[in-house]
Amino acid sequence: PWSFFEMAPLDPIIGLNEQFQKDDYPSKVIVGVGAYRDEKGKPFVLPSVRKAEKILAEGGLDMEYAGIAGEPRFVDLALEFAYGEDSAALKEGRIQGVQALSGTGGLRVFGEMMKKHGSTTLYLPNPSWGNHKNIFTNSGLEVKNYRYYDADNSSLDFEGMVHDIKSMPAGSIVLLHACAHNPTGMDPTLEQWKELSSVIKEQDLVTFFDCAYQGFASGDASKDAAAIRMFVEDGHLISMVQSFSKNFGLYGQRVGALSVVGRDAEEAKKVVSQMKTVIRPMYSNPPRHGARLVTTILEDPQLTAEFREECKGMADRINTMRGALKDSLESAGSTRDWSHITDQIGMFAYSGLSNEQVLEMRAKHHVYCTGDGRISMAGVTSDNVDYIANAIHDVAK
Ligand code: PLP
Ligand code: TYF
């Protein structure tokens, strides 16, 4: 039955790892997948997560199935983490959610649910995270774009964005990156968010926030939730997917949540019941360990404080490397304006390198970033920053 199967192309982001593994050049560098590395370039487990692991190991917990919606306590804490403990909507029970297979799984459940309930079109920023389009196309939705990034000026094309939102048909879904936009590292200001909130309201759209980097934009997880909290306060009945991959460093544990703000608690519960009908035939229920780790941390004020400090530490190291990369490019003799590297926030630098330059940099210098010129700043260290800068300068001259 398999003879007509062709080899599928490599994933444009994750496939880079496979290519990189095969490269035996000694000073090869990968700044592709968005995964945090420490100053030695090694994967990093947060000390608060290590402590939570110990607590769990000693807790003698059983390994029974979670419910379809996952760990209820985790969901409550995840929602408080994003919407804020003081959120009126949360206190009124108008926000309900399920545990999700990290951000990706939550996006897919949302897409399937919306398709089932008559949605036809979802709008993504141009550009957006590479996987978004496939997730929603595979959910049966038509995926369109709205203007977001002005590549010529390395800035947010806010006017274009507002213009495009104003021409979206009522009932369309608009996906917004809650903070630290991937791949551009360029977010609307608070004033711009306010304007977006009012424009979207007039248009009668379904607002869907993808929150994958809460804590990574400013270093302060509460501050990074400002847009979400503003929209809820403004009365938007949003839905949101949260990922705990980056901020808690729990990538492989697949920890996330999908939530909805209803007109009242009953409405929100009805939506959650529909999420569960999507989940049950797809994967039945989510894994427990990662959700238990996050619960253990967020339940404990001391561990939460430690986590917040550690998350800030990651964001700070990335920012230091932004400055170092820009300086290093200038020392290498580049006369191009690289100020966008330090202006951008979150995990990535959207360098402005063309696909041709990216491929040349890979072939000549064995520096691997994604085809769109996105550099994972989390992979830049004091040891490799000069090498990366020289490679960029060489192909960008
Ligand atoms: N959404 C955005 C914008 C992302 O950048 C990512 C990961 O890079 C995700 C969602 C999903 O990540 P995960 O499935 O690990 O939570
Ligand atoms: O670097 C990125 O943009 C992501 C990272 O299951 C990622 O693609 C990798 C694996 C995964 C989800 C996200």
Task: Kindly tell me if the per-residue pLDDT of 12 is higher than 90.
Answer: no
CA distance linking residue 321 with residue 391, whole number of Å? 16
Average pLDDT taken over every residue of the chain: 96
CA distance linking residue 209 with residue 179, whole number of Å? 9
Global pTM? 0.97
Domains of the chain: 15-44+314-396 (3.90.1150.10), 65-299 (3.40.640.10)
Q: What pLDDT does 333 receive?
A: 94
Quick: pLDDT tens for 366-380.
Answer: 999 999 999 999 999
CA distance linking residue 355 with residue 358, whole number of Å? 5
Cβ contacts of residue 220 below 8 Å, gap of 6+?
A: 308, 312
- Contact status, residue 200 vs residue 292, Cβ threshold 8 Å: no
Structure tokens at 277: 């009908």
- In DSSP terms, 150 is beta-bridged to 155
Active site residue 129: yes
Closest C-alpha residue for ligand 1 atom 16: 103
- Contact status, residue 89 vs residue 232, Cβ threshold 8 Å: yes
Quick: pLDDT tens for 187-197.
Answer: 999 999 999 99
In percent, the amount of the chain with pLDDT more than 70 equals 100
CA distance linking residue 312 with residue 305, whole number of Å? 11
What is residue 325's three-state secondary structure? helix
Q: What pLDDT does 389 receive?
A: 96
Among candidate residues 210, 326, 338, 372, the one labeled active-site is 210
Task: Kindly tell me if the per-residue pLDDT of 10 is higher than 90.
Answer: no
Q: What pLDDT does 336 receive?
A: 93
Task: Kindly tell me if the per-residue pLDDT of 183 is higher than 90.
Answer: yes
Quick: pLDDT tens for 100-121.
Answer: 999 999 999 999 999 999 999 9
Mean pLDDT in residue range 331-359: 95
Quick: pLDDT tens for 223-278.
Answer: 999 999 999 999 999 999 999 999 999 999 999 999 999 999 999 999 999 999 99
Number of the ligand closest to the Cα of 16 = 2
- How far, in Å, is the centroid of ligand 2 from the Cα of 14? 7
Helix (H) / strand (E) element for 255: namely: strand 255-261
- Contact status, residue 41 vs residue 383, Cβ threshold 8 Å: yes
Ligand 1 pocket test, candidate residues 245, 248, 294, most atoms within 8 A of CB: 245
118 conformational bin, left if phi > 0, alpha if psi -120 to 50, beta if neither:
left
- How far, in Å, is the centroid of ligand 1 from the Cα of 32? 14
Mean pLDDT in residue range 44-49: 98
3-state SS, one letter per residue, for 116-182: HCCCCEEEEEECCCHHHHHHHHHCCCEEEEEECEECCCCEECHHHHHHHHHCCCCCCEEEEECCCCC
CA distance linking residue 140 with residue 243, whole number of Å? 23
Q: What pLDDT does 234 receive?
A: 98
Q: What pLDDT does 11 receive?
A: 87
318: confidence class by pLDDT, cuts 50, 70, 90: very high
What is residue 353's three-state secondary structure? coil
CA distance linking residue 136 with residue 129, whole number of Å? 12
Cβ contacts of residue 393 below 8 Å, gap of 6+?
A: 329, 332, 333, 334
- Contact status, residue 294 vs residue 255, Cβ threshold 8 Å: yes
Active site residue 223: no
397: confidence class by pLDDT, cuts 50, 70, 90: confident
Going by C-alpha positions, the residue among 116, 167, 164, 170 that lies closest to residue 139 is 116
Q: What pLDDT does 217 receive?
A: 94
C-alpha to C-alpha distances, 371 to 32, 113, 353, 360, nearest whole angstrom? 9, 32, 9, 11
- How far, in Å, is the centroid of ligand 2 from the Cα of 88? 33
C-alpha to C-alpha distances, 341 to 133, 136, 184, 274, nearest whole angstrom? 26, 30, 10, 42
